[in-house]
Structure 1
Amino acid sequence: MTLFDETVGDMMNESILGRAQERDLIRIEAHQIRAYTLNKQKQVDDYPYGGGHGAVMQADPLYQCWKHITDAYGPGHTIYLSPAGKTFTQCEAKRLLRDYEHLILVCGHYEGIDERFIEACVDEELSIGDFVLTGGELPAMVVADAVARMVPGVLPDPECFEDESHWSGMLEYPQYSRPETWHGRTVPPVLRSGNHALVARWRRKQSILRTFRRRPDLYEKLDFSSKEDQKLLQELMEEEADFQPRR
């Protein structure tokens, strides 16, 4: 649900998500809220009660759009993209994919949307971070992309997302491609060894190190109880001056 349906539609119909829609694996539709207003001016906003700057999106155009969607496609889990919402994470993306067949993403604008629509129709509010944007389209596309890419068949193999940052609580290991040497920098020898077990071990080790250095908050939550991880931690302590095992 958006005031910029063409922009959102163009973005969501490109590349991987576009091909997935062509194969009927997913379906993403952008509904223009103005099309559901009951006034000739197609007005969707008005001054806020109580005074203040800006305007507030009115409840009824939002409701009429939402009602059309639910009547046409059945009840869906309705999410309002809001800086006051719960922070969206990879775990949240997995939850939405697991629990719901149909998501309705509501994009606000101006100073926000009438609280009565939220109370009547919204199931939850999500935020993509502690900052404010001019509209909800970018957050909605972030949520749609993060969820849709995990739908079976959208990516060629589950490993395409299961090895990535945040899937298991860690950041992803460094990636390299051709040429072997670029500007004097060479691909790590282990990645050219052909030994898949050593490559997997190196990647696990690099993920631990990268998470430790860049996201200590995530690092503190990780489970390193296995014997193999204990060996990796010991090696990192010996090799990296700044590395410290979790307290």
Structure 2
Amino acid sequence: MYDPERRWLDRASCRTVHPERFFAPNGSQLDRAPAEITQKIWDDAKKICHHCPVLEQCRRDTRGEEYGVWGGLDEHERYQARKRLTRGAWKKWPEELQLQWGKHLARLRQGELTWHQIKLRTGLPVSVSEALIRRWEAHQAQQVGQVAEVVDLPLPEPPKILKDFPATPGQRHGWVRNNGLIADGWYAGHTEDGAWVRMQVFSGRGNVIKFFRAKDVRFYNPQPRWTVPYHGRPDADDVSEDAHVA
């Protein structure tokens, strides 16, 4: 279905190209048409992807990436693909594939991954993951001769353990909790209400600029504060991406 280890990375054309060529400097471009300069950066990056020997594997395994160009698709195109899944495109998958995904997603949840971590890893929106798990559980119940009762209830979110910030300063502006790890980041602005901080961090596959909740950032080298807009912030009206596109 996909390779969570991305073992094809060492054969990708981008391994010899500076990561900044794949990321636009203007923040999130998910639910709006990108600026002209952003689109040009993405189009230039896609030319590199076009001749990549692992283009299909990269496109398959990076649907959940929130930023940059992966597999010849930019972040707005991946967002649209996730919207199509939310609207029911997954129901056209063969039954065997739906059951395989349901089994795998159930194991990820049992491994105490959060829904957000699962979405980043698989590219499947939360509502789709929940539906696939329910379908697999119903199938399993039928296999053992039980009457399956499918109840549309969300699985409980496992407790999230926050890593402590290092006691010593780093080499940039502040420490950031990023996908379960602590990263050293450059400051790039606050939202007007101060709830979100925009930071540039190294994600393991290159530098990315993204917003983090203020509680997940600790400055050891405070910077002059300035305000930046955050379009599509997940806490706007308490509506998640999945609810927004349903």
TM-score using structure 1 length: 0.25
For the pair shown, the structure with the greater C-alpha radius of gyration is: 1
Q: Provide the TM-score with structure 2 as the length reference.
A: 0.25
